[in-house]
Amino acid sequence: MAAAVIPLLIAAGTVATVSAIQQGRAAEAQGRTQEKIAQRNADIALKQAEEEKQAAAAQAIAQERRGRALIGEQRAKFAKSGVELRGSPLSVLVETAEELEADRLSILRTGSIAAGRNIARAGIFRAQGSAAKARGTAAKRASVLSAVGTGLSTAASVGFVSSQLPKTKLTLQQRVPGTSGGFVPR
């Protein structure tokens, strides 16, 4: 009866060992996949950052054009009314130019902040990807250690069960009559 347990122990140990190795491989593959997804998200965030910068630059150029047109319009109105560009009229033009430049710089600043957020997101995605890959690699290493432990435990169990079996020797004199040459333990 105890001899019948040995193949079962070996089979159970083999299945547990292979299972541990497969789990490690799956964890490593999942880590690599998560790393690729995170890298893709980082690339998208960087692209969005570049788009934010370009959009802000385009808005700033449009703001600058509107500003030049407004200042030109103010100058024309002053000239049409015969007012010289000194004193208050000049102060109005200078103040308008300053406000327009502040608006243009605010547009660029807003775009730069949005781009910076996306660049930071890209960095976070990359860090998450690296961590996922590292977790997968660590899980694979742990599964190998688990597989080795299971294999050693199985070998120890088989050895123990084998040591508990009675030691028998079969000889030719112990043939069982009426069988095809089977032997009976002494």
Q: What are the φ and ψ backbone dihedral angles of 84, each rounded to 5 degrees?
A: -80, 150
Instruction: Let me know if residue 179 belongs to a domain.
Output: no
pLDDT over 70 at 185, yes or no: no
pTM exceeds cut of 0.75: no
CA–CA gap between residue 118 and residue 112 (Å, rounded): 10
Cα distances (angstroms) measured from residue 152 to each of 44, 88, 143: 48, 95, 14
Is 177 part of any domain? no
SS3 category, 168: coil
Distance (Å, whole) CA 36 – CA 166: 58
Query: Does 171 fall in a domain?
Result: no
Distance from C-alpha of 11 to C-alpha of 160, rounded to nearest angstrom:
16
The answer to the question of residue 175 being in a domain is: no
Q: How many domains does the chain have?
A: 1
Which uninterrupted H or E stretch holds 31?
helix 2-80
Q: Is the pLDDT of residue 166 over 80?
A: no
Give residue for tokens 């009866």: 1
Please tell me the predicted confidence (pLDDT) of residue 174.
54
CA-to-CA dists, residue 93 to 2, 23, 80, 86, angstroms: 104, 73, 15, 10
175 pLDDT tier (thresholds 50, 70, 90): low
Percent of the chain with pLDDT over 70: 88
Q: Residue 123 above 90 pLDDT?
A: yes
Residue 169 pLDDT exceeds 70:
no
Asked if the structure places residue 71 within a domain, the reply is: yes
Give domain status of residue 153, yes or no. Answer: yes
- Residue 44 sits at the vertex; the CA angle it makes with 43 and 49, to the nearest 5 degrees, is 95
- pLDDT tens column, 85-104: 788 888 999 999 999 999 99
For residue 97, the SS3 value is helix
Higher pLDDT, 5 or 150: 150
* 168 CB-side CA count, 13 A: 12
Low-confidence winner among 7-21, 39-53, 57-71 (lowest mean pLDDT): 7-21
Range of the domain at 128: 2-164
Domain membership of residue 172 (yes or no) is: no
Question: At residue 184, does pLDDT exceed 90?
Answer: no
Output DSSP code: residue 174: G
Question: In this structure, is residue 50 part of a structural domain?
Answer: yes
Answer yes or no: is pLDDT of 161 > 70.
yes
Is pLDDT larger for residue 169 or for residue 39? 39
